Structure 1
Amino acid sequence: MARIAVIGAGTGAMAAAARLSVAGHRVTVYERAETYSGSLGRFARDGFVFDTGPGLLHLPAVYRDLFVKTGKESLEQCVTLTQVDPASRHLFADGTAVSLPNASRAGVTGALDRALGEGAGARWGDFLDRAGEAWNRSRRPLLEEPLPEDRRALARDPYPAVRHRRLLRAARQAGTVAEVGAWELTDPRLASLLDGYALSYGLDPRRAPAAAALLPYMEETFGSWYVAGGVRALADAVYARCLARKVEFVFGAEVVRVAEKDGRAAGIELADGASVEADHVVLGAQPAPGLLPVRDGGRPAGAPSVPGRFQVLLSLRGAREAGAVHRTVVHTADPGAEQDAVFGGRTAELPTVTVLRPDDPATRPDDAHEAVTLTVTVAPHGPVDWTDAALRQRFAETVIARAAEAVPGLRERTLHAEVRTPAETEAETGAEGGSVPAPALAGAEGSYLHAANRSPLPGLYRAGGWSHPGGGLAHAGMSGALVAGLVVEGDGFRGSQ
């Protein structure tokens, strides 16, 4: 039985902890905050309850596997999952609106044809077929296996882009999300739909490789799921599973250094001066300067800043109207200007806003009220001073004005608006600038890959969104499985079967 110290209590770290404990190891989690869950926060006021992290779950199979491998109760016995249908409603700048069914290719193509004109559905469907090819080519090495030392295969973009012929110029293939939208989808609204998927994950459509097509493919193929009580309830269930497996938690314990002895990780040092010996250390958070004794292949110096999330949590009077959609995306009229702002360290004048309106009694004091969450991808804290009260208020007003297109009588119904920015994310999670890591992508010479789960220092492993295979609930859960496999099986581990 090995002693294992886990740094951070995010979902990826807890997933690794539960699996390692089941394998017979003694696992203790050290968390700088006073609670678990990492980015899966919760805000409550006067009977209104909001998720402050992701509001939907994709690829629930990742957590089904976790619960199967760590106990008798299944995921569905621990949380209530409901498929969101329609999966999303989209409001475009020209006034067009379309609702996309959940996990129904035929339903999506039909809806696009009716809303955007004949042929729109076929173009999107053909795009998803190509995205499916990319998924089949890259799924295992990108998501289910440890990151190999030789990453040349993942440096190549798996998306089979269509050759685009241009007048008097050589044919080219789309290499970025934006080029896929312009050359293959052709309709600006379809391009905006694709851009919106990329931006919601913190990716710049103009630079992200075409392989980002895996993100809409994953959502539209495997569906979007809501966790009753909010996605924080999933973190509650994973934490409870850890406790049931005898994982120990120490809260309010900031780890300042990973100790090294004889060329391998040998424990951790805490801010209060205490030292803890360990046979293995699992880092489940973005490493702060000085935490690691060696460079571990993380984000290179000088790399572009990673966006964060701006949220407005609205407590509304009045019942949620019949037929209201759970998720609505209000698209910008000027994608280029928004992308310039987000990835250039400014606030956008016309941001893309995601509106979440769960029909869940647990989120509101009674059926005469409604809890609504507005989310925007924004530049991180630092390039933008998100502690500036005037700036926060101005941008919140902009976001609310845009969301009013999706929620009838929004301003008149508002009882209270809670504003959360990357500054709050940084304070609560320790992530630099309140940044939210994106999922790993193949292509672009490997520049969208994350740090390997096995670090260059023997005995030190990485889990969570800042490690392979990147950010997002599903990807964080996968990282926990990969770390557990590496610790338990050693060099022979080749990923889940």
Structure 2
Amino acid sequence: MARIAVIGAGMGAMAAAARLAVAGHRVTVYERSATYGGALGRFERDGFAYDTGPALLHLPAVYRDLFLKTGKKPLEECVRMTQVDPASRHLFPDGTDVSLPNTSRAGVVSALDAALGAGAGTRWGDFLGRARDAWDRSRRPLLEEPLRGDWQVLGRDPYPAVPQRRLLRAPRVAGTVAEVGTGELADRRLAALFEGYVLSYGLDPRRTPASAALLPYMEQTFGTWYVQGGMRALAHAVYERCLERRVEFVFRADVIRIVEKDGHAAGVELAPGPAASGSTVVEADHVVAGTAPAALVDRELWRDGDVRPWGEDGSGAPSVPGRFTVLLALRGGRPDGTAHRTVVHSPDGGDEADAVFSGRTAERPTVTVLRPDDPTTRPDDGHEALTLTATVAPHGPVDWNDAGPRERYADVLMEAAGAAVPELRERLCWREIRTPADTAAATGARGGSVPAPSLAGAEGRLLRPANSTRLPGLYLVGGEAHPGGGLAHAGMSGTLVAGLIVEGADFRGSR
């Protein structure tokens, strides 16, 4: 039985902790805050309740597998999950309104044909077919296996782009999300649909490789799910599973150093507590770090030729965006037939991307409106809890602590959301604003950035550092490590780290 110290109680870290405990190891989690769940926060006021991080689950199989492998009760006995149908409603600047069904390729094609015109659905369906090819080519090395030493093979884009003929010129193959939208989808609204998926993950459609087609493919293939009580209920279920497996949690424990001994990770050093006169060293045989790698230790962590954290390799990588969220308490009940998620698309996606990735606020952003049909989110049926989100520049380029920009941008989001929610301002009881500055304070993420999933292509620039490191015995887990950000990907990283520790160098990935 090995002693394992886990830094952070985020979802990836807890997933690793539960699996390692089942394997017979003694696991202790050190969390600097007072609670677990990382980005899966919850805000409550006056009988209203809101997720302050991810609010929908894709690829639920990741957490079903976690619960299957770590205990007797399956996931569905620990939380109540329902498929969101329609999966999403989309409002475009020209007035087009289309709702896309959950996990129905034929249904999506029919809905797009009816709303956008004959042929639009077929083009989207053909696009998803190519996305499936990219999924088949890259799924295991990108998501289910430890990042190999020859990770450069993932630098090639697996998306089979269609050559676009040009008059008197050689055919052109789309290399970015924006180029796929212009050339293959050939409809500004279909392009906005694809680009909206990509931007919601904090990626720039103008520079992100076409392999990002995996993002809408995964959602439309494996479905969109809601957990009653919000995603915080999922975090609580994983925490309870860890406790059942006798994982120990120490909250308000700030790890300030990885202890090394004889060239091996040998424990962690904790900052002095309120009643302590000095720091405390806790010995361990392995250390699993669920914190941002760039903030963990100096650059000597990375071996020559390794994937580095974004912005740490001297490439001048752009800052990673965050989320601007407005929580609304409304008078009046949620109308029957209301879509859980509505996306109000920006009239100028190019201007929006330019603003977000150059450190400005977009004048008319893409806004996602979440309206869960969940009695636990509201005081009674005569009220409604509603959440607005937009992708924005991180804290730093924009001072999100300044009350002026916060309030003005909340007004911008509410104006856009009015297209989806009639009489929104008239129904308002109060609102609460969450910005990247709040995310940074709550999670420690630099600038409140939200890491995106790893993607193949772009010469490997969108990959995350491997779960194993230069220092034997030290492993990385969570959104800042392979295979990147997102709730499902965090669970995958926990699987990979547990496999590396339990099986060692022979581990070849999850099955």
Scaled by the length of structure 1, the TM-score of the pair is: 0.99
RMSD (Å) for aligned C-alpha atoms: 0.9
Q: Separation in 1 of the partners of 2:337 and 2:17?
A: 41
Paired position in structure 1 for 2:510: 496
Q: Separation in 2 of the partners of 1:89 and 1:314?
A: 19
Q: Separation in 1 of the partners of 2:226 and 2:283?
A: 40
Q: Separation in 2 of the partners of 1:472 and 1:288?
A: 18
Deviation, structure 1 residue 289:
3.9
Deviation, structure 1 residue 291:
3.5
Asked if residue 477 in structure 1 is aligned to residue 483 in structure 2, the reply is: no
**Alignment partner of 1:318 out of 311, 328, 332:** 332
Deviation, structure 1 residue 295:
2.8
Contact 1:386 1:422 in 2 (8 A): yes
Deviation, structure 1 residue 162:
0.1
Contact 1:259 1:293 in 2 (8 A): no
**Aligned-partner residue type, residue 35 of structure 2:** T
**Aligned-partner residue type, residue 200 of structure 2:** S
Asked if residue 284 in structure 1 is aligned to residue 290 in structure 2, the reply is: yes
Paired position in structure 2 for 1:101: 101
**Aligned-partner residue type, residue 459 of structure 1:** G
Listed as ranges, the matches of 1:226-375 within 5 Å are 226-272=226-272, 273-287=279-293, 289=295, 291=297, 294-296=300-302, 297-301=308-312, 302-375=316-389
Deviation, structure 1 residue 329:
0.1
Decide which moves more: 281-290 or 121-130. 281-290
**Alignment partner of 2:469 out of 428, 451, 455:** 455
Q: Separation in 2 of the partners of 1:347 and 1:90?
A: 22
Decide which moves more: 267-276 or 446-455. 267-276
Q: Separation in 2 of the partners of 1:37 and 1:288?
A: 21
Paired position in structure 2 for 1:140: 140
Asked if residue 175 in structure 1 is aligned to residue 175 in structure 2, the reply is: yes
Cα distance change of structure 1 residues 441 and 293 upon mapping to structure 2, 3 Å threshold: closer
The Cα offsets for residues 280-309 of structure 1, whole Å up to 9 and x where unpaired, read as: 000112146464583333234332100000
Paired position in structure 1 for 2:47: 47
Decide which moves more: 258-267 or 130-139. 258-267
**Aligned-partner residue type, residue 417 of structure 1:** R
Contact 2:201 2:453 in 1 (8 A): yes
Paired position in structure 2 for 1:18: 18
Paired position in structure 1 for 2:212: 212
Paired position in structure 2 for 1:155: 155
Paired position in structure 1 for 2:62: 62
Contact 1:258 1:293 in 2 (8 A): no
Q: Separation in 1 of the partners of 2:93 and 2:293?
A: 40
Q: Separation in 1 of the partners of 2:62 and 2:393?
A: 30
Asked if residue 203 in structure 1 is aligned to residue 214 in structure 2, the reply is: no
**Aligned-partner residue type, residue 79 of structure 1:** V
**Aligned-partner residue type, residue 229 of structure 2:** G
Cα distance change of structure 1 residues 203 and 476 upon mapping to structure 2, 3 Å threshold: same
**Aligned-partner residue type, residue 437 of structure 2:** A
The Cα offsets for residues 118-142 of structure 1, whole Å up to 9 and x where unpaired, read as: 0000000000000000001111110
**Aligned-partner residue type, residue 335 of structure 1:** G
Q: Separation in 1 of the partners of 2:486 and 2:77?
A: 23
Listed as ranges, the matches of 1:414-425 within 5 Å are 414-425=428-439
Q: Separation in 1 of the partners of 2:373 and 2:162?
A: 41
Paired position in structure 2 for 1:409: 423
Provide structure 1 residue ranges, at least 5 long, that are not aligned to the other structure: none
Contact 1:308 1:435 in 2 (8 A): yes
Decide which moves more: 376-385 or 255-264. 255-264
Decide which moves more: 280-289 or 240-249. 280-289
The Cα offsets for residues 126-167 of structure 1, whole Å up to 9 and x where unpaired, read as: 000000000011111100000001012211100000001112
Decide which moves more: 324-333 or 257-266. 257-266
The Cα offsets for residues 20-62 of structure 1, whole Å up to 9 and x where unpaired, read as: 0000000000011100000000000000000000110000000
The Cα offsets for residues 440-484 of structure 1, whole Å up to 9 and x where unpaired, read as: 000110110001011111000011000000000000000000000
Q: Separation in 1 of the partners of 2:270 and 2:345?
A: 45
Scaled by the length of structure 2, the TM-score of the pair is: 0.96
Give the 3-state SS of the residue equivalent to 2:475 in structure 1.
strand
Q: Separation in 1 of the partners of 2:311 and 2:146?
A: 20
Contact 1:177 1:210 in 2 (8 A): yes
Deviation, structure 1 residue 168:
2.1
Q: Separation in 2 of the partners of 1:479 and 1:122?
A: 35
Paired position in structure 2 for 1:73: 73
The Cα offsets for residues 236-263 of structure 1, whole Å up to 9 and x where unpaired, read as: 0000000000000011111111111111
Give the 3-state SS of the residue equivalent to 1:179 in structure 2.
helix
**Aligned-partner residue type, residue 299 of structure 1:** W
Paired position in structure 1 for 2:276: none
Give the 3-state SS of the residue equivalent to 1:259 in structure 2.
strand
Q: Separation in 2 of the partners of 1:135 and 1:436?
A: 23
Q: Separation in 1 of the partners of 2:294 and 2:228?
A: 34
Q: Separation in 2 of the partners of 1:73 and 1:81?
A: 15
Paired position in structure 1 for 2:126: 126
Contact 2:311 2:319 in 1 (8 A): no
Contact 1:482 1:495 in 2 (8 A): yes
Q: Separation in 2 of the partners of 1:111 and 1:284?
A: 41
Q: Separation in 1 of the partners of 2:196 and 2:259?
A: 42
Deviation, structure 1 residue 321:
0.8
Matched length: 497
Give the 3-state SS of the residue equivalent to 2:301 in structure 1.
coil
Q: Separation in 2 of the partners of 1:150 and 1:290?
A: 24
Paired position in structure 1 for 2:305: none
Q: Separation in 2 of the partners of 1:196 and 1:299?
A: 22
Q: Separation in 1 of the partners of 2:242 and 2:300?
A: 30
Q: Separation in 2 of the partners of 1:300 and 1:261?
A: 29
Deviation, structure 1 residue 356:
0.3
Q: Separation in 2 of the partners of 1:290 and 1:440?
A: 20
Contact 1:257 1:292 in 2 (8 A): no
Provide structure 2 residue ranges, at least 5 long, that are not aligned to the other structure: 273-278, 303-307
Decide which moves more: 67-76 or 161-170. 161-170
Give the 3-state SS of the residue equivalent to 1:204 in structure 2.
coil
Identity percentage of aligned residues? 72
